[in-house]
Amino acid sequence: MSTDQAKKKILSIVPEASHGSQAPEAATSRESQSAEGDPVCPLCFGTGMHVEPGKGARRCRCRNQDRRAILLAAARIPRRYGHCSIHNFENAGEEPSKYFALGEADRLIKEYPVEGRTEGVGILFMGPVGVGKTHLAVAILRELIQLYGIAGLFYQSGALLKEIQDSYNSISQSSELGVLAPVFEAEVLVLDELGASKPTDWVRDTLLQIINTRYNDKKLTIFTTNYLDERASEKKETLEDRVGVRLRSRLYEMCKTVQIEGADYRKKLARQAR
């Protein structure tokens, strides 16, 4: 299907769309699978529920841990970034923008549950390659899943667009929703490398629609991009050139822009390895 045809397709979502392991309740079905002889939880004796005197039945702590592990596995964090945490983000103090960015990541994680403060307001990490944008975005995603047990998702924006476009070509009608439902519904989404795809009208419209849907639902989105707002030179494109003026202005509303400067950490790692 050409991008023009694809453009005419309307992105929509049905509320009952199932999203497999994304569903938080997936954890409850795990109990029956545990092999005989596994250590039995002393709180719930393997039932998953325990009674708190005066309060009633509660989901047991052991199930919450199970559930978080499932949510984390469902978040599609690339293995390369599996280690990323705010605790192993070095900022040596010599690079103020990294120090500031880490502080912003930390603040967002801590404030997440405070009604009306971080609700829907994410971060746009902006800066050159290798300064740790994806590292911090993944760190936030992981931490929010682990701390609050919410559903989260990582996507490279180019990979997401490709999956959507591929779904138009497939025989199955539901596959487009299969791709989009988790993206719309995740409590926190990392959209990595915004602006990396060739900016066709379809790309801009599709991104705008995804981001608008999440914005309207007050869902938190964390973005990274290698493009800046200022034109570094005549030839260099800005983020606005890449994603369009409407999307850039929407991003202003729904994100705090955090620019990271400094050395490419990958080069530092390579030097250390020598």
Ligand X SMILES: Nc1ncnc2c1ncn2[C@@H]1O[C@H](COP(=O)(O)OP(=O)(O)O)[C@@H](O)[C@H]1O
For 226-267, strand residue ranges (E) read 255-259
- The tokens for 59 are 């989901």
Four-point Cα dihedral 88, 92, 98, 100, nearest 10: 100
Q: Tell me the CA distances in angstroms from 137 to 8, 92, 223, one per residue in order.
A: 32, 19, 7
The reply on whether position 190 binds ligand X by CB under 6 A is: no
Smallest separation (angstroms) from ligand X to the CB of 214: 21
State the Cα–Cα distance between residues 17 and 182, nearest whole angstrom: 9
SS3 210: helix
Nearer to Mg ion, 134 or 157 (CB): 134
Q: Could you say which of 19, 63, 67, 98 contacts ligand X (CB under 6 A)? A: 98
The reply on whether position 200 binds ligand X by CB under 6 A is: no
Contact residues toward Zn ion (CB under 5 A) are: 41, 43-44, 60, 62
**Residues 35-64, interacting with Mg ion (CB under 5 A):** none
Q: Could you say which of 133, 142, 219, 248 contacts ligand X (CB under 6 A)? A: 133
DSSP 116-142: TTSTT-EEEEE-STTSSHHHHHHHHHH
Q: With CB cut-offs between 5 and 8 Å by kind, which of ligand X, Mg ion, Zn ion, none does residue 43 bind?
A: Zn ion
Q: Could you say which of 134, 156, 167, 225 contacts ligand X (CB under 6 A)? A: 134
- The tokens for 75 are 């978040």
- The tokens for 170 are 């497939």
Smallest separation (angstroms) from ligand X to the CB of 86: 10
Q: Could you say which of 134, 157, 165, 197 contacts Mg ion (CB under 5 A)? A: 134
**Residues 254-273, interacting with ligand X (CB under 6 A):** 265-266
**Residues forming the site for Mg ion (CB under 5 A):** 133-134
**Residues forming the site for ligand X (CB under 6 A):** 84, 88-91, 98, 129-135, 224, 265-266
